[in-house]
Structure 1
Amino acid sequence: MRLRLATLLTAAVVALLPSTARADATYPDPQRVTGQQIIHDPTVILLRSGGYVAYSTGGVIGARVSKDRVRWDDAGNAFAEPPSWWYEYNDTGDPWAPDISYRAGRYWLYYAVSSWGTNHSAIGVATSRTGLPGTWTDHGKVLTSETTDAWNAIDPAVIRADGRLWMSFGSYWTGIRMVELDPRTGRAAEAATVHHLATRPDAPYAVEGPYIVRHGRYYYLFASYDACCSGVDSTYKIRVGRSTSVQGPYLDSEGKPMLEGGGDLLLEGHGRYVGTGGQSLFRDRGQDWLAYHYYDAEDEGTPKLGLNRLSWRKNGWPDVR
């Protein structure tokens, strides 16, 4: 799951891996990245002041900054200390899977707090005028889930559509959901309808980490399928479907609903790049980019930042470059 940094592979197992790995030509390798590459569940944005910032699972929402999208430097954490309410959901105040966006003159950072294997979870939100680490003000809970619910309130991603603000979320527990947010507070209304967007046909319904973008007349739902967080044993991959409505239904290119396990395979592990997922998208000077993590089979399964250009075919479906 997009929950925490994976336990690294033991040296004995790594020794059995081939010393060189040839990439499968079907899937592109990540673009070149240098500096601080270690990351999990990245969300990236081009700041209005110039340069890039990436937030991630790990630390108190770990931060990386870059001037050129190639070299990344460690920039500490979004917060100096975990807000006290985080400890309601785990003993260490450990946040997961942030999502950064900009609207109404502020940056908005959504994130989740939970514990492994439970849907006693919450999504929170913070705002900042600059988007930089150390400048965030936390505003508390946006949405929660309990063990009596059929969904899991983690892995948030926000999109504006038709003048309204929506948040997709979800992990296992029957998959991907969505609620409308109050644009003034950034929170879900108490009685907000929880829409169902995607699931798998069988338990444990291994789909999570949604991210929705609009291109042309369609909304595209990207999600991570299968297992995260096991180093080179991870089977994460990224699938996508589309809909003419942000609320769905989302279908793959063969017309199979994502509510029935559909979804076109966009990117999966190949060569040294294992378990590609935890994805988000960002726009940089007219170009769409896919950000994700992978586990490096040539570096003991360390989770690292993957960046690829996202192009759009003539039939409207996305492709990675």
Structure 2
Amino acid sequence: MTLRRTLTALAATAVLTLLPNSAQAAGTYPDPRPITGQQIIHDPTVIHLKSGRYAAYSTGGIIGARLSKDGKQWDDAGNAFATPPSWWYEYNDTGDPWAPDISYRSGRYWLYYAVSSWGTNHSAIGVATSPSGLPGTWTDHGKVFTSERTDTWNAIDPAIVKADGKLWMSFGSYWTGIRMVELDTRTGKAKEGATVHHLATRPDAPYAVEGPYIVKHGRHYYLFASYDACCSGVNSTYKIKVGRSTTITGPYIDSTGKPLLEGGGDLLLEGHGRYVGTGGQSVFRDRGQDWLAYHYYDTKDSGTPKLGLNRLSWTKNGWPRVF
């Protein structure tokens, strides 16, 4: 990198660090990191495996898998499972899973995922474990948590977070928004009779907020969520918003103090240029750096959903920014 480019990058970082807390200023949204190979993906969850490779799992296939040696060149690696577990067919006719989440604890990799049908909250979240995190090595352990048509929440889009020695799962899509339950640390499944906490919603139906992901930074927990419409190619209006709380179960508020339960949320990333409908996000940490993973629809490739990766940094006031 030349000295001029280095100074330009440092200047841009300094400007973003000093931006107001409310939202990443209009026109400053960065393009995703250039990648090569198999870029097509939806609802990505990414992890740096202990073996040294990167793995990305996603909606599509029987939980589609991508592998990379450097986080830049990605290769198709098939699916997490060879065949769908039989119980998936209780929730859709094709055994089609959605929105996985991968994490590592207790010497194993844990893969959470949802099975449902479009437009219904007859849904379930399941879990599988693997010693390596690689496709083809997963053992399914069945249902973690379910929702029915009589519930006011939807058991899809799971994301796992540890807090104060406890294990929690945020989830939700439409049906009044984002929820959370405590999990049993041994089984990885919802505790019997667990309270269903309410974290975020929109003021009006259809309450278009989904895909939560929570991370801790400093003394706060940060709730990232996707707002508005997914899955419509170049017509998608997905965008990523964030709020924070000092306790895992909330209340979560944005930088103006507005609760996410009242429609609040700081805009972190939205469509710009060829990158439309940014959402389905997750966050992973790699060599001390936080990264935001998401999908976007490429207007220069017929709206094909592709993997977006951006560095995630934090202002002095503790709010996230993408670079």
Normalising by the smaller structure, the TM-score range is over 0.9
Task: Kindly provide the amino acid, as one letter, of the partner of residue 39 in structure 2.
Answer: Q
The equivalent residue for 1:153 is: 155
Asked if 1:175 corresponds to 2:149, the answer is no
Q: Identity, % of aligned pairs?
A: 85
The equivalent residue for 2:316 is: 314
Deviation for aligned residue 1:26: 1.7
Q: Equivalent of 2:119, from 114, 117, 123?
A: 117
Q: Equivalent of 1:261, from 260, 263, 268?
A: 263
Q: Equivalent of 2:281, from 279, 282, 296?
A: 279
Q: Equivalent of 1:245, from 241, 244, 247?
A: 247
- Counterparts of 1:54 and 1:216, CA distance in 2: 27
Deviation for aligned residue 1:238: 0.1
Structure 1 gap ranges (5+): 1-23
For residues 62-92 of structure 1, give each alpha carbon's deviation from its aligned partner in whole angstroms, at most 9, with x where no partner exists.
0000000000000000000000000000000
- Counterparts of 2:267 and 2:211, CA distance in 1: 15
- Counterparts of 2:192 and 2:95, CA distance in 1: 25
The equivalent residue for 1:30 is: 32
The equivalent residue for 2:21 is: none
Deviation for aligned residue 1:25: 3.7
TM (norm. structure 2) is 0.92
- Counterparts of 2:316 and 2:280, CA distance in 1: 27
Cα RMSD over matched residues? 0.6
Asked if 1:292 corresponds to 2:294, the answer is yes
- Counterparts of 2:225 and 2:27, CA distance in 1: 22
- Counterparts of 1:73 and 1:48, CA distance in 2: 18
Task: Kindly provide the amino acid, as one letter, of the partner of residue 62 in structure 1.
Answer: G
For residues 270-318 of structure 1, give each alpha carbon's deviation from its aligned partner in whole angstroms, at most 9, with x where no partner exists.
0000000000000000000000000000000000000000000000000
Q: Which has the higher contact order (CA 8 A, sep 6+)?
A: 1
Kindly report which structure 2 residues correspond to 1:98-247, keeping only aligned pairs within 5 A, or say none. Answer: 98-247=100-249
Deviation for aligned residue 1:93: 0.1
DSSP 3-state at the match of 1:298:
helix
DSSP 3-state at the match of 2:215:
strand
Task: Kindly provide the amino acid, as one letter, of the partner of residue 104 in structure 1.
Answer: S
Q: Equivalent of 2:62, from 60, 66, 70?
A: 60
The ranges of structure 1 where at least 4 consecutive aligned residues each deviate by more than 2 angstroms after the TM superposition are none
Structure 2 gap ranges (5+): 1-25
- Counterparts of 2:191 and 2:168, CA distance in 1: 11
- Counterparts of 2:36 and 2:306, CA distance in 1: 10
- Counterparts of 2:126 and 2:309, CA distance in 1: 26
Aligned length: 298
Deviation for aligned residue 1:51: 1.1
